[in-house]
Amino acid sequence: MLRKIRIAVSVILFSLITLYFIDFAGILPHSFSFLAEIQFLPALLALNFVVLGALVVLTLIFGRVYCSSICPLGVFQDITYRLRRTLTKKKKFKYKKAANVLRWSVLGATVIAFIAGFTFLVGLLDPYSAFGRMSVHLLKPAYLAGNNLLEAIFTHFGNHTFYKMSVYIGSVFSMVMALVTLIVVGVMSWTGGRDYCNTICPVGTTLGFLSKYSLFKIRIDDNLCNSCGSCGRNCKASCIDTKNHKIDHSRCINCFDCIEVCSQSAMKFSYSTKAVRNTRKVD
Protein backbone atom coordinates (compact mmCIF):
# COMPACT_ATOMS: atom_id res chain seq x y z
CA MET A 1 0.00 0.00 0.00
CA LEU A 2 2.81 2.44 0.89
CA ARG A 3 4.48 1.82 -2.46
CA LYS A 4 1.23 2.39 -4.35
CA ILE A 5 0.62 5.66 -2.50
CA ARG A 6 4.18 6.77 -3.25
CA ILE A 7 3.78 5.97 -6.95
CA ALA A 8 0.42 7.78 -7.17
CA VAL A 9 1.77 10.93 -5.52
CA SER A 10 4.92 10.79 -7.68
CA VAL A 11 2.98 10.46 -10.93
CA ILE A 12 0.61 13.31 -10.09
CA LEU A 13 3.33 15.74 -9.02
CA PHE A 14 5.69 14.77 -11.84
CA SER A 15 2.97 15.23 -14.46
CA LEU A 16 1.93 18.61 -13.09
CA ILE A 17 5.50 19.89 -12.78
CA THR A 18 6.34 18.75 -16.30
CA LEU A 19 3.24 20.44 -17.68
CA TYR A 20 4.12 23.54 -15.64
CA PHE A 21 7.43 23.77 -17.51
CA ILE A 22 6.20 23.05 -21.03
CA ASP A 23 2.73 24.61 -20.86
CA PHE A 24 2.39 27.22 -23.62
CA ALA A 25 -1.39 27.32 -23.81
CA GLY A 26 -2.09 28.41 -20.24
CA ILE A 27 -3.67 25.10 -19.28
CA LEU A 28 -2.45 25.39 -15.71
CA PRO A 29 -3.62 28.45 -13.75
CA HIS A 30 -1.06 30.76 -12.17
CA SER A 31 -1.80 29.27 -8.76
CA PHE A 32 0.13 26.16 -9.81
CA SER A 33 3.34 28.12 -9.26
CA PHE A 34 3.27 26.42 -5.86
CA LEU A 35 4.83 23.44 -7.65
CA ALA A 36 8.08 25.41 -7.78
CA GLU A 37 7.66 26.92 -4.33
CA ILE A 38 7.59 23.50 -2.61
CA GLN A 39 10.98 22.54 -4.05
CA PHE A 40 13.94 22.69 -1.68
CA LEU A 41 16.41 25.02 -3.40
CA PRO A 42 13.83 27.45 -4.84
CA ALA A 43 12.43 27.75 -1.31
CA LEU A 44 15.94 28.37 0.02
CA LEU A 45 16.70 31.03 -2.59
CA ALA A 46 13.37 32.72 -1.84
CA LEU A 47 14.04 32.47 1.92
CA ASN A 48 10.69 30.71 2.23
CA PHE A 49 11.23 29.42 5.74
CA VAL A 50 7.71 28.00 5.93
CA VAL A 51 8.36 25.59 3.06
CA LEU A 52 11.91 24.87 4.22
CA GLY A 53 10.67 24.15 7.72
CA ALA A 54 7.94 21.90 6.38
CA LEU A 55 10.41 19.91 4.25
CA VAL A 56 12.81 19.54 7.17
CA VAL A 57 10.02 18.38 9.50
CA LEU A 58 8.70 16.01 6.82
CA THR A 59 12.16 14.48 6.48
CA LEU A 60 12.72 14.20 10.22
CA ILE A 61 9.43 12.34 10.55
CA PHE A 62 9.22 10.16 7.42
CA GLY A 63 12.69 10.25 5.86
CA ARG A 64 13.48 11.21 2.28
CA VAL A 65 9.95 11.26 0.89
CA TYR A 66 10.88 14.54 -0.82
CA CYS A 67 13.39 12.64 -2.95
CA SER A 68 11.01 9.79 -3.68
CA SER A 69 7.89 11.75 -4.64
CA ILE A 70 8.24 15.55 -4.66
CA CYS A 71 11.49 16.06 -6.56
CA PRO A 72 10.80 15.72 -10.32
CA LEU A 73 14.38 14.70 -11.11
CA GLY A 74 14.08 11.86 -8.64
CA VAL A 75 10.92 10.61 -10.34
CA PHE A 76 12.63 10.99 -13.71
CA GLN A 77 15.36 8.63 -12.50
CA ASP A 78 12.72 6.10 -11.44
CA ILE A 79 11.11 6.29 -14.88
CA THR A 80 14.47 5.79 -16.57
CA TYR A 81 15.27 2.79 -14.40
CA ARG A 82 11.83 1.26 -14.99
CA LEU A 83 12.35 1.68 -18.74
CA ARG A 84 15.66 -0.14 -18.46
CA ARG A 85 14.05 -2.93 -16.46
CA THR A 86 11.31 -3.28 -19.07
CA LEU A 87 13.73 -3.40 -21.98
CA THR A 88 16.53 -5.49 -20.49
CA LYS A 89 14.70 -7.52 -17.84
CA LYS A 90 17.61 -6.82 -15.52
CA LYS A 91 16.63 -5.46 -12.16
CA LYS A 92 19.25 -6.68 -9.73
CA PHE A 93 21.11 -4.27 -7.49
CA LYS A 94 23.62 -4.96 -4.78
CA TYR A 95 24.73 -3.10 -1.71
CA LYS A 96 27.37 -0.43 -2.27
CA LYS A 97 29.18 1.58 0.35
CA ALA A 98 28.24 5.23 0.45
CA ALA A 99 30.49 7.57 -1.55
CA ASN A 100 30.58 9.97 1.39
CA VAL A 101 33.72 11.83 0.32
CA LEU A 102 32.15 12.67 -3.04
CA ARG A 103 28.75 13.46 -1.53
CA TRP A 104 30.05 15.87 1.07
CA SER A 105 32.59 17.42 -1.31
CA VAL A 106 29.86 18.27 -3.81
CA LEU A 107 27.63 19.63 -1.05
CA GLY A 108 30.50 21.70 0.37
CA ALA A 109 31.31 23.14 -3.05
CA THR A 110 27.64 23.97 -3.59
CA VAL A 111 27.35 25.74 -0.23
CA ILE A 112 30.51 27.77 -0.91
CA ALA A 113 29.22 28.68 -4.39
CA PHE A 114 25.86 29.67 -2.90
CA ILE A 115 27.46 31.94 -0.29
CA ALA A 116 29.80 33.44 -2.89
CA GLY A 117 26.90 34.14 -5.22
CA PHE A 118 28.20 31.76 -7.90
CA THR A 119 24.75 30.72 -9.00
CA PHE A 120 25.88 28.74 -12.05
CA LEU A 121 27.14 25.79 -10.01
CA VAL A 122 24.12 25.93 -7.71
CA GLY A 123 21.69 25.89 -10.63
CA LEU A 124 23.69 23.19 -12.37
CA LEU A 125 23.44 20.76 -9.45
CA ASP A 126 20.01 21.66 -8.06
CA PRO A 127 17.67 18.80 -9.04
CA TYR A 128 14.65 21.01 -9.71
CA SER A 129 16.70 23.35 -11.92
CA ALA A 130 18.20 20.36 -13.71
CA PHE A 131 14.78 18.94 -14.50
CA GLY A 132 13.51 22.36 -15.56
CA ARG A 133 16.48 22.75 -17.87
CA MET A 134 15.73 19.44 -19.58
CA SER A 135 12.01 20.21 -19.82
CA VAL A 136 12.29 23.74 -21.21
CA HIS A 137 15.17 23.24 -23.63
CA LEU A 138 14.53 19.69 -24.81
CA LEU A 139 10.99 18.57 -24.08
CA LYS A 140 9.17 21.83 -24.75
CA PRO A 141 10.43 22.24 -28.36
CA ALA A 142 9.39 18.64 -29.04
CA TYR A 143 6.02 19.35 -27.44
CA LEU A 144 5.54 22.42 -29.65
CA ALA A 145 6.54 20.47 -32.75
CA GLY A 146 4.02 17.78 -31.85
CA ASN A 147 1.34 20.42 -31.41
CA ASN A 148 2.12 21.85 -34.85
CA LEU A 149 1.93 18.40 -36.40
CA LEU A 150 -1.52 17.87 -34.90
CA GLU A 151 -2.52 21.36 -36.06
CA ALA A 152 -1.59 20.50 -39.63
CA ILE A 153 -3.48 17.21 -39.54
CA PHE A 154 -6.61 18.57 -37.89
CA THR A 155 -6.68 21.70 -40.07
CA HIS A 156 -6.46 19.53 -43.19
CA PHE A 157 -9.77 17.98 -42.14
CA GLY A 158 -11.35 21.34 -41.28
CA ASN A 159 -10.89 21.04 -37.52
CA HIS A 160 -9.26 24.04 -35.86
CA THR A 161 -8.89 22.67 -32.36
CA PHE A 162 -5.12 23.24 -32.49
CA TYR A 163 -3.27 26.37 -33.51
CA LYS A 164 0.23 26.67 -34.86
CA MET A 165 3.00 27.84 -32.54
CA SER A 166 6.54 28.93 -33.25
CA VAL A 167 9.04 26.32 -32.18
CA TYR A 168 11.80 28.15 -30.38
CA ILE A 169 14.83 27.11 -28.39
CA GLY A 170 17.06 28.99 -26.02
CA SER A 171 20.74 29.60 -26.54
CA VAL A 172 22.98 26.86 -27.87
CA PHE A 173 24.78 26.80 -24.52
CA SER A 174 21.50 26.25 -22.63
CA MET A 175 20.51 23.42 -24.93
CA VAL A 176 23.92 21.78 -24.63
CA MET A 177 23.77 21.99 -20.82
CA ALA A 178 20.28 20.49 -20.87
CA LEU A 179 21.49 17.66 -23.09
CA VAL A 180 24.52 17.02 -20.87
CA THR A 181 22.24 16.94 -17.82
CA LEU A 182 19.92 14.48 -19.53
CA ILE A 183 22.80 12.20 -20.52
CA VAL A 184 24.54 12.27 -17.12
CA VAL A 185 21.40 11.74 -15.04
CA GLY A 186 19.94 9.30 -17.56
CA VAL A 187 23.03 7.11 -17.71
CA MET A 188 23.50 7.11 -13.94
CA SER A 189 19.88 6.12 -13.33
CA TRP A 190 19.91 3.55 -16.16
CA THR A 191 22.93 1.78 -14.71
CA GLY A 192 22.63 2.52 -10.99
CA GLY A 193 19.10 3.52 -10.05
CA ARG A 194 19.34 6.45 -7.66
CA ASP A 195 23.13 6.90 -7.90
CA TYR A 196 22.77 10.56 -8.89
CA CYS A 197 20.65 11.27 -5.81
CA ASN A 198 23.15 9.60 -3.51
CA THR A 199 26.43 10.81 -4.97
CA ILE A 200 25.96 14.13 -6.76
CA CYS A 201 22.74 15.82 -5.66
CA PRO A 202 23.41 18.34 -2.84
CA VAL A 203 19.76 18.29 -1.80
CA GLY A 204 19.86 14.51 -1.54
CA THR A 205 22.95 14.67 0.68
CA THR A 206 21.37 17.31 2.93
CA LEU A 207 18.11 15.45 3.36
CA GLY A 208 20.00 12.19 3.65
CA PHE A 209 21.81 13.51 6.71
CA LEU A 210 18.49 14.51 8.27
CA SER A 211 16.82 11.21 7.41
CA LYS A 212 19.32 9.34 9.58
CA TYR A 213 17.39 10.78 12.51
CA SER A 214 13.87 10.37 11.13
CA LEU A 215 11.21 8.90 13.39
CA PHE A 216 9.86 6.49 10.80
CA LYS A 217 12.34 4.23 9.01
CA ILE A 218 12.39 1.01 7.04
CA ARG A 219 13.76 -1.67 9.35
CA ILE A 220 14.55 -5.37 9.08
CA ASP A 221 12.86 -7.84 11.41
CA ASP A 222 15.42 -10.60 11.97
CA ASN A 223 12.73 -12.88 13.40
CA LEU A 224 11.00 -12.95 10.02
CA CYS A 225 13.90 -12.45 7.60
CA ASN A 226 15.12 -15.60 5.85
CA SER A 227 18.11 -13.81 4.25
CA CYS A 228 16.84 -14.36 0.71
CA GLY A 229 18.34 -11.00 -0.34
CA SER A 230 15.37 -9.90 -2.46
CA CYS A 231 15.18 -6.55 -0.67
CA GLY A 232 18.79 -5.71 -1.54
CA ARG A 233 18.44 -6.85 -5.14
CA ASN A 234 15.48 -4.52 -5.60
CA CYS A 235 16.88 -1.52 -3.70
CA LYS A 236 17.59 1.13 -6.35
CA ALA A 237 19.45 3.16 -3.73
CA SER A 238 21.79 0.18 -3.13
CA CYS A 239 21.62 0.94 0.58
CA ILE A 240 20.50 -2.41 2.05
CA ASP A 241 23.32 -4.55 3.39
CA THR A 242 21.52 -7.90 3.37
CA LYS A 243 24.54 -9.76 4.73
CA ASN A 244 24.64 -7.72 7.94
CA HIS A 245 20.95 -6.79 7.98
CA LYS A 246 21.64 -3.07 7.96
CA ILE A 247 20.14 -0.16 6.05
CA ASP A 248 21.95 3.09 5.28
CA HIS A 249 19.11 5.50 5.95
CA SER A 250 21.08 8.46 4.65
CA ARG A 251 20.63 6.95 1.17
CA CYS A 252 17.24 5.27 1.56
CA ILE A 253 14.65 7.25 -0.43
CA ASN A 254 11.63 5.43 1.00
CA CYS A 255 10.47 4.01 -2.32
CA PHE A 256 9.12 1.01 -0.36
CA ASP A 257 10.12 -1.41 -3.13
CA CYS A 258 11.87 -3.60 -0.56
CA ILE A 259 8.68 -3.90 1.49
CA GLU A 260 6.74 -4.85 -1.63
CA VAL A 261 9.08 -7.69 -2.65
CA CYS A 262 9.67 -9.16 0.82
CA SER A 263 7.80 -12.48 0.92
CA GLN A 264 8.34 -12.83 4.67
CA SER A 265 7.00 -9.37 5.63
CA ALA A 266 10.34 -8.76 7.33
CA MET A 267 10.70 -5.20 6.05
CA LYS A 268 8.87 -2.75 8.30
CA PHE A 269 8.27 0.97 7.99
CA SER A 270 8.06 1.64 11.70
CA TYR A 271 8.26 4.42 14.27
CA SER A 272 11.19 3.01 16.23
CA THR A 273 13.28 -0.11 16.70
CA LYS A 274 10.98 -1.01 19.56
CA ALA A 275 8.18 -1.50 17.04
CA VAL A 276 10.09 -4.48 15.63
CA ARG A 277 11.10 -6.71 18.50
CA ASN A 278 14.43 -8.46 18.79
CA THR A 279 15.81 -6.92 15.62
CA ARG A 280 19.39 -5.92 15.08
CA LYS A 281 20.19 -2.27 15.38
CA VAL A 282 20.18 -0.42 12.09
CA ASP A 283 21.56 3.00 11.31
Could you give the percent of the chain with pLDDT greater than 70? 95
* pLDDT score of 282: 42
Cα distance between residue 113 and residue 201, in whole Å: 14
Cβ-based neighbour number of residue 156 at 10 Å? 8
Cα distance between residue 282 and residue 25, in whole Å: 50
**What's the mean pLDDT when you consider all of the chain?**
89
pLDDT tens, the chain, 283 aa long = 889 999 999 999 999 999 999 888 778 887 888 889 999 999 998 899 999 999 999 999 999 999 999 999 999 999 999 898 888 876 688 899 999 999 999 999 999 999 998 888 998 999 999 999 999 999 998 888 888 888 889 888 888 888 788 887 778 898 999 999 999 999 999 999 999 999 999 999 999 999 999 999 999 998 999 999 999 999 999 999 999 999 999 999 999 999 999 999 999 998 865 444 444 444 4
SS3 180: helix
* pLDDT score of 214: 95
58 Cβ contact partners less than 8 Å away, ≥ 6 residues apart: 65, 66
* pLDDT score of 11: 95
Cβ-based neighbour number of residue 272 at 10 Å? 10
What's the sign of the alpha-carbon dihedral 38, 254, 250, 94?
A: negative
